[in-house]
A and B are shown apart, each in its own frame.
Chain A
Amino acid sequence: MKIGIVKLASCSGCQIALLDTHEKLLEIADKVVYAPLIKDARELPDCDVVLVEGAVRTEHELEVLKRARERAKKLVAFGSCSALGGISGMGSIYKPEKLIEDIYGRDLDYKLLDFAYPIDRFVEVDYYLPGCPPTPELISKFIDGILNGRVERHDYPVCAECGRLVVHTKIDNIKKTELPDPKVCLLSQGYVCLGSVTRGGCRAICTKAGVPCRGCRGPTDKVMVMPCKDYLTELHDRIERIAGFDVKFNDVASIYAFVFTSDMMDKLVSRIKEVIRKGRRGGRA
């Protein structure tokens, strides 16, 4: 088994999470033939599995991705940037010219694509392992799955692992700063928690630590397949039912932060890409 790791537009956090798997890393260390962060091989050879970290933002990255696809028997979208656009995708709320002007202040000798896209826009993907980053436990389980040919899916939402209980309340505003009650569902307490629309498997590490889920693992199966299920409508509906208040989200982009350049959200009801494209900020990036 030969494993390669390729990096596109990313923060390297997913590779660091792979390093955090400790024993699992030792187990596969001799199988890793190419990985910019941990090996100094120059060229990606033919591999059984290639993990691609990061979104596609430049034409160069697109070439790297295509080469990786050619050399990989199985191509894995490793982390949310690669699987769904993720943090890198968030840059797409600014126009490319504006990003270049504000960050570099000069012309670049390569071109930015219109959006930072997840890799499945350009190549066939065999597995998606979303998470920002995926937890070391998820990565270990996935590697085991790859090695023995049985990859386990997580088709349930974060709520299923959260352990907090819903209490029906009556509140009148979204909360952001106060310390939440440790046993009660964060939505009941007025925090915008994306747990109910987000794929589980992370063991709800954020909500267990008292922080609302930001949706880093992307949409659940249900949100993906049901045209009438969408982040905004689902959250709105739940907050209205359990906390009795009609929430007006004024920062829609932050709710879709991890997913809005992904085709998986292009359903009848989700017009997020269109909305963002229209309202793209020309202001300082």
Chain B
Amino acid sequence: MIRIEIDEDRCVGCLECVDVCPTGVIINKNNKPFVENAERCIGCLSCSYVCRADAIKHEGIHVEEKIVKSVYIEEKIERFV
């Protein structure tokens, strides 16, 4: 079961996550994103991808984050504080 959490303190209200979700999981509620139908989430991570504030967290997704990582950069990235 996928759980989605939106960190309200981080969110700047751009609603890009609402626009991008292909299955209508995140809806616009009084100009704020709201997780309405978590069970419909297909785990595409598009919302988290467009979120400029890194405010959306998913748990329980069965696939790895589908991002291409360069080994060189991946090695170094953890050292950036």
Chain A: minimal CB distance from B15 (Å) = 8
- Majority secondary structure, B binding face: loop
With A151-B81, A157-B53 given, name 19 new contacts (CB 8 A). A128-B76, A142-B81, A145-B81, A152-B81, A153-B80, A153-B81, A154-B81, A157-B54, A160-B9, A164-B12, A201-B81, A218-B80, A224-B73, A225-B70, A226-B67, A227-B68, A241-B16, A242-B14, A263-B72
Residue in contact with B54 in the complex, picked from A130, A155, A164, CB distance below 8 Å: A155
What is the size, in residues, of chain B's interface with A at 8 Å between Cβ atoms? 27
- List the 5 closest pairs (A to B, CB-CB), nearest first: A196-B52, A160-B10, A166-B14, A156-B54, A160-B53
* B77 proximal to A (CB < 8 A): yes
* A220 proximal to B (CB < 8 A): yes
Specify which chain A residues have a CB less than 8 angstroms from the CB of B67 in the assembled complex. 225-226
Q: List 28 A-B contacts (CB under 8 A).
A: A120-B76, A128-B79, A128-B80, A145-B81, A151-B81, A156-B53, A156-B54, A159-B10, A160-B7, A160-B55, A165-B13, A166-B12, A185-B12, A195-B52, A196-B52, A196-B53, A221-B77, A221-B80, A222-B49, A222-B54, A224-B73, A224-B77, A225-B74, A227-B68, A238-B14, A241-B16, A242-B14, A263-B72
Chain B: minimal CB distance from A211 (Å) = 17
- Majority secondary structure, A binding face: mixed
In the complex, what distance in Å separates the CA atom of A222 from the CA atom of B67? 10
* A125 proximal to B (CB < 8 A): yes
Which B residues contact A (CB, under 8 angstroms)? 7, 9-10, 12-16, 19, 49, 52-55, 67-70, 72-74, 76-81
In the complex, what distance in Å separates the CA atom of A185 from the CA atom of B53? 12
* A236 proximal to B (CB < 8 A): no
Specify which chain A residues have a CB less than 8 angstroms from the CB of B78 in the assembled complex. 153
Q: Is the CB of A238 within 8 A of B52?
A: yes
Which A residues contact B (CB, under 8 angstroms)? 83, 120, 125-130, 138, 142, 145, 151-157, 159-162, 164-166, 168, 185, 195-196, 199, 201, 218, 220-222, 224-227, 238, 241-242, 263-264, 267
In the complex, what distance in Å separates the CA atom of A229 from the CA atom of B70? 13
Specify which chain A residues have a CB less than 8 angstroms from the CB of B68 in the assembled complex. 225-227
In the complex, what distance in Å separates the CA atom of A16 from the CA atom of B8? 35
Q: Is the CB of A264 within 8 A of B73?
A: yes
In the complex, what distance in Å separates the CA atom of A226 from the CA atom of B48? 13
Specify which chain B residues have a CB less than 8 angstroms from the CB of A153 in the assembled complex. 78, 80-81
Q: Is the CB of B13 within 8 A of A166?
A: yes
Report if A199-B80 is in contact (Cβ < 8 Å); known contacts: A156-B54, A160-B55, A225-B73.
yes
Specify which chain A residues have a CB less than 8 angstroms from the CB of B69 in the assembled complex. 225
